[in-house]
Amino acid sequence: MPSYTFVSTANAFVLRGAVPVFVDIRADTLNIDETLIEAAITPKTKAIVAVHYAGVSCEMDTIKAIAKKHHLFLIEDAAQGMMASYKGQPLGSIGDLGTVSFHETKNVISGEGGALLINDKTWIEDAEIIREKGTNRSKFFRNQVDKYTWVSLGSSFLPSEIIAAFLWAQLEHAQEITDRRLHHWQLYHDGLADLENREVLRRPIVPADCQHNAHMYQILLPSLAQRTQFIETLRAAGILSVFHYVPLHSSPAGMKYGRSHGDLALTTNLSERLVRLPLWVGMTTTDIEVVLDTIHKSSR
């Protein structure tokens, strides 16, 4: 898995006794560098985790071929990837398993919550049991057993009815939400082209095979010092911009539970220079223009 990701990517595996092995990222998409994966595989390796950063897909054909060759599971962390695709295929539906997040910071939300996408039918029953606190209650509801009981390990992963209803409404509007976000994203992209030409900043790069979902608009500044200054300039104008992530390989828990493959130089460098601009479905064109004006005034 990449080190440049949210902590949940690693937690999920450490909680089951596995050791995350961190691999460096690509300079363009900030996704795991598929050319470095194979060298990180050992006889103990069980799975490859592809995190689709900012809803821009990893190079899935290559990663899928590596997983197949080495008999590894391919798991997509598509937390940020709802409504995005790779060569026309929705993110989360390409690997053996995919995860989607409905956290309040994502595009389609239920406050807290998420989905496990199961692309291998043989795992559906196991997943139902895990979701139902380790019981076969789902089978009971389908009249396949006359009483339900504890059959395996599980937990309380079901959302409440109220949360599910909220999410349903969000899902009904998922295309509209995505379209509006893409509109905002494009305003930023067009509005910052001149500053990229002047090498003041670098805009996001989306490979031709990837349809993204405008999950975020992130820019890269030349240095950590310039990023700190940039965030401060926007803050003084009442605009919140944020950085992320602190790479997992350099975090206290990452060092304790994980292992790095190589020096992860790009992860360290790029994570220090990245900043996210405000992007929310309810923003107006004027809101975006204010951000663009502020950036331009500070970059004269």
Ligand X SMILES: *Cc1c(COP(=O)(O)O)cnc(C)c1O
Q: Which is nearer to ligand X, 78 or 200 (CB)?
A: 78
Q: Which DSSP string corresponds to 53-71?
A: GGG----HHHHHHHHHHTT
Q: Minimal distance in Å, beta carbon 102 to ligand X?
A: 6
Token representation of residue 64 = 């899928």
Q: Which is nearer to ligand X, 101 or 136 (CB)?
A: 101
At 137 the three-state DSSP class reads helix
CA separation, residue 285 to residues 45, 190, 198 (Å): 48, 13, 24
CA angle 228, 233, 238 (to 5 degrees): 120
Total binding residues toward ligand X, as defined by CB under 6 A: 11
Site pattern 162..201 for ligand X (x: CB under 6 A)? ----------------------------------------
| Part in contact with ligand X (CB under 6 A); list of ranges 15-23, 77-85, 116-124, 290-298 | 77-85
**What one-letter code names the amino acid at 107?**
N
Residue 218 in contact with ligand X, rule: CB under 6 A: no
Exactly one of 47, 66, 114, 251 binds ligand X (CB under 6 A); which one?
Answer: 114
- Please count the other Cβ atoms lying within 10 Å of the Cβ belonging to residue 238: 8
- Please count the other Cβ atoms lying within 10 Å of the Cβ belonging to residue 281: 17
Residue 6 in contact with ligand X, rule: CB under 6 A: yes
What part of residues 24-63 is at the interface with ligand X (CB under 6 A)? 51
- Please count the other Cβ atoms lying within 10 Å of the Cβ belonging to residue 188: 22
Residue 80 in contact with ligand X, rule: CB under 6 A: yes
Residue 76 in contact with ligand X, rule: CB under 6 A: no
CA atoms within 13 A on the CB side of 57: 27
Token representation of residue 170 = 């969000």
| Part in contact with ligand X (CB under 6 A); list of ranges 74-82, 126-134, 199-207, 253-261 | 74-82
With CA atoms as reference, report the closest residue to 177 among 102, 112, 117: 102
| Part in contact with ligand X (CB under 6 A); list of ranges 2-10, 63-71, 188-196, 235-243 | 2-10
Exactly one of 101, 136, 260, 267 binds ligand X (CB under 6 A); which one?
Answer: 101
Q: Tell me which residues touch ligand X (CB under 6 A).
A: 5-6, 8-9, 51, 77, 79-80, 101, 103, 114
